[in-house]
Amino acid sequence: MDELLELLKRNALETPENLGKMLGLNADEVRKRIAEYEERGVIRGYQAVINEDVLALDRVNAVIEVKITPERHGGFDRIARRICKFPEVQSAYLMSGAYDLLLFVSGRNLKEVATFVSEKLATIEGVVSTATHFMLKTYKQHGLMMEGEDEYERLKVSP
Amino acid sequence: MSMRGLRSRRSRVAEHVLRIPRSGIRDFFDIVSQRQDVISLSIGEPDFDAPWHVREAAIFALEKGATHYTSNRGLLRLREAVSRYVERNFALQYDPETEILVTVGVSEAVDLALRAILSPGDEVIYHEPAYVSYAPLTAIAHGRPRPVVTRMEDEFRLRPEAIRRQLSERTQALLLNFPNNPTGAELSADDLRGIARVAEEEDLIIITDEIYAELTYDQAHTTIASLPGMKQRAIFLHGFSKGWAMTGFRIGYACGPAELIEAMMKIHQYSMLCAPVLAQEAAIGALLDGLDDVEQMRNEYRRRRNFLLRSFAQMGLRCVVPRGAFYSFPYVGELGLSSRDFALRLLEEESVAVVPGTAFGTCGEGFVRCAFATAMEEIEEATERMGAFVARYRKAGA
């Protein structure tokens, strides 16, 4: 992957000036390349990684395994896209193995998610079965640990 | 008066040890330690913790009961892994049985090498600015250190002619450290050939400290030991502290002709017995599973280097491009301050710690060492403060 993308993945708030200094470009070149990535749809957006556990939001997050019947034309895509339209669905992946789609779903409470599954998801034509797992605690997401560890002491000067 | 009486007037500390000056870095460390909230560019070790693969290898070994002595030479599994690694990366073939010794970091290996080859009064040529231990360790081994000055105008490369000027009847060895601490300098292929020619003609042993070999940013590192005719006279020293961020493990190795490795092993077996077994197990993990981590760290250092260089340019400071290691050595002499005063006032006024160039030899006057083994955010903040400091002193001087 382009080094610029790697750096943005790590910290999207880094200024074009600083990014340029790291990569040996000037700030305008960096802005231009970011704009191109946005235009091409490589960069789809910028978000903060939030540890919701700290906020005590009373929201629930669930992972749902979905089996679907592929269609003659388009395979899984049409049904997958249809499922993705629901705002409850945060992420969706086509999987190999025992089921077809893996959904990350979020809702205000257990009941809301359960209702979504039984009334919206399971009733879609082509959905064969679902298995819902509720998340209890987040340890790591997007490569970041959710609880910081105390740093081990390092000397301030060394040869 | 008895002969014992005469003796009692002598110092209790050996004379050659008394003569060794206090380390300039230690001096500065004492001042910095008293300060809170200092952003430090004065740390000569990676800010990364050792890669998880490495730590996990040590934990696994400990669980299995790896708490015993190993062979004096080190675990054979480690020596075999080192042999493969050195062959693949440096085009050098060493026999794990007789030509490799596992040591407590390169620091111990330098000490062993010098003690193994120096008779009292023998001379060692090394280049300055240099890592702080070469001259003292030479003196401790009853040898005489002979520094050769390298200059900013030459990109701190070591010139064969400069070596020739320091040769004497007693010159036994040439001690090299490229990529270099504190300048980040590398040698060109021409330099290497020229130095090899001097070593050949003058029959010198080459001790080459290659601890930064993985950390080069513009092209892969070539060791002098791999040049034709050099392997038989070179002691190749390497370790895991820098490339793999394993400083606290204290683990390194020496590769060289069996005769020299055997002599070093003789000293090592009585003074150290063996390198700690957990560090050896961690090192095996580093060679088997840690290479991707090295790559990632190198890429991060490269970005930080670029950032620092650009920042120095904006401040109007001259700085040779560091081709390797994680140090930059900008020239601050135009500001009318000595290296030491620059470092002290920068610490006092902006809470940024850098090391005065004089800690690495008198020819380091006018320079400071800024390490980029510190997180990017800290480097950003440190350069901003340093920029303000430099601008202030420029204005005062103008």
**A121 shares a domain with A67:** yes
Does some domain include residue A155? Answer: no
Q: Residue A150 has what pLDDT? A: 80
Of the pLDDT bands very low, low, confident and very high (cuts 50, 70, 90), residue A15 is: very high
A154 shares contact with chain B (CB less than 8 Å):
yes
**A123 shares a domain with A100:** yes
A57 shares contact with chain B (CB less than 8 Å):
no
DSSP letters spanning A4-30 = HHHHHHH-TTS-HHHHHHHHT--HHHH
Q: Residue B5 has what pLDDT? A: 58
Selecting from B32, B307, B310 the residue whose C-beta is nearest the C-beta of A157 gives B32
pTM as predicted? 0.90
pLDDT tens digits for range A101-138: 999 999 999 999 999 999 999 999 999 999 999 999 99
**A57 shares a domain with A35:** no
Give the C-alpha separation, A49 to A93, whole Å.
20
Q: Residue B4 has what pLDDT? A: 61
Cα of first residue to Cα of last residue in chain B, in angstroms, is 67
**A65 shares a domain with A34:** no
> Residue A22's domain is classified under what CATH number?
1.10.10
- A-B contacts at Cβ under 8 angstroms: 58
B59 shares contact with chain A (CB less than 8 Å):
no
Cβ neighbours of B267 (radius 10 Å):
16
B133 shares contact with chain A (CB less than 8 Å):
yes
> CA A36, A42, A45, A51: dihedral to nearest 10 degrees?
-140
Of the pLDDT bands very low, low, confident and very high (cuts 50, 70, 90), residue A71 is: confident
Nearest chain A Cα distance for residue B214, angstroms: 19
ipTM score of complex: 0.76
List chain B residues with CB under 8 Å of A21.
306-307, 310-311
**A130 shares a domain with A90:** yes
Does some domain include residue A31? Answer: yes
- Contact by Cβ (8 Å): B48, B301: no
- Which stretches of B13-122 are assigned E, i.e. beta strand? 39-40, 100-103
A7 shares contact with chain B (CB less than 8 Å):
yes
Nearest chain A Cα distance for residue B31, angstroms: 10
Q: Which domains, ranges and CATH numbers included, belong to chain B? A: 3-49+292-397 (3.90.1150.10), 67-290 (3.40.640.10)
Does some domain include residue A126? Answer: yes
**A103 shares a domain with A79:** yes
Inter-chain touch B29–A156, beta carbons under 8 Å:
yes
Domain span at residue A15 reads: 3-40
> Residue A105's domain is classified under what CATH number?
3.30.70.920
Selecting from A21, A152, A157 the residue whose C-beta is nearest the C-beta of B42 gives A157
B296 shares contact with chain A (CB less than 8 Å):
no
- Tokens at B303, concatenated: 């970005």
Q: Residue B398 has what pLDDT? A: 64
B311 shares contact with chain A (CB less than 8 Å):
yes
- Contact by Cβ (8 Å): B249, B240: yes
List chain A residues with CB under 8 Å of B359.
159
Among the listed residues B301, B368, B284, B293, the one whose alpha carbon sits nearest the alpha carbon of residue B332? B368
Q: Residue B329 has what pLDDT? A: 98
Q: Mean pLDDT across chain A, nearest whole number?
A: 93
**A101 shares a domain with A29:** no
**A56 shares a domain with A8:** no
**A131 shares a domain with A56:** yes
Q: Residue A148 has what pLDDT? A: 81
**A122 shares a domain with A81:** yes
List chain B residues with CB under 8 Å of A157.
25, 28-29, 32-33, 40, 42-43, 353, 355
Q: What are phi and psi of B254, to 5 degrees?
A: -125, 135
Q: Residue B3 has what pLDDT? A: 59
Strand order in the sheet with A60-68: A89-94, A101-107, A60-68, A127-134
A22 shares contact with chain B (CB less than 8 Å):
yes
Does some domain include residue A159? Answer: no
Give the C-alpha separation, A121 to A114, whole Å.
10
Inter-chain touch A22–B304, beta carbons under 8 Å:
yes
**A56 shares a domain with A32:** no
Q: Residue A58 has what pLDDT? A: 84
Does some domain include residue A97? Answer: yes
For residues B120-157, one letter each, b for 16 or more C-beta atoms within 10 angstroms of the residue's C-beta and e for the rest, the string is eebbbbbbbbbbbbbbbbbbbbebbbbbbbbebeebbb
List chain A residues with CB under 8 Å of B55.
none
Helix/strand/coil for B229: coil
List chain B residues with CB under 8 Å of A20.
310
Sign of CA dihedral B157, B162, B166, B170: positive
Inter-chain touch A156–B43, beta carbons under 8 Å:
yes
Selecting from A3, A156, A159 the residue whose C-beta is nearest the C-beta of B33 gives A156
- Counting every residue written for chain B, the total comes to 398
Give the number of domains in chain A.
2
Nearest chain B Cα distance for residue A119, angstroms: 45
B383 contact partners, CB below 8 Å, separation of at least 6: B307, B308, B311, B312, B315
The tens place of each residue's pLDDT in chain B, 398 residues long, gives 555 655 556 789 999 999 998 877 777 888 888 888 899 999 999 999 999 999 999 999 999 999 999 999 999 999 999 999 999 999 999 999 999 999 999 999 999 999 999 999 999 999 999 999 999 999 999 999 999 999 999 999 999 999 999 999 999 999 999 999 999 999 999 999 999 999 999 999 999 999 999 999 999 999 999 999 999 999 999 999 999 999 999 999 999 999 999 999 999 999 999 999 999 999 999 999 999 999 999 999 999 999 999 999 999 999 999 999 999 999 999 999 999 999 999 999 999 999 999 999 999 999 999 999 999 999 999 999 999 999 999 988 76
Inter-chain touch B25–A159, beta carbons under 8 Å:
yes
B242 shares contact with chain A (CB less than 8 Å):
no
List chain B residues with CB under 8 Å of A24.
306, 310
A156 shares contact with chain B (CB less than 8 Å):
yes
Inter-chain touch B40–A24, beta carbons under 8 Å:
no
Among the listed residues B386, B371, B292, the one whose alpha carbon sits nearest the alpha carbon of residue B325? B371
**A125 shares a domain with A82:** yes
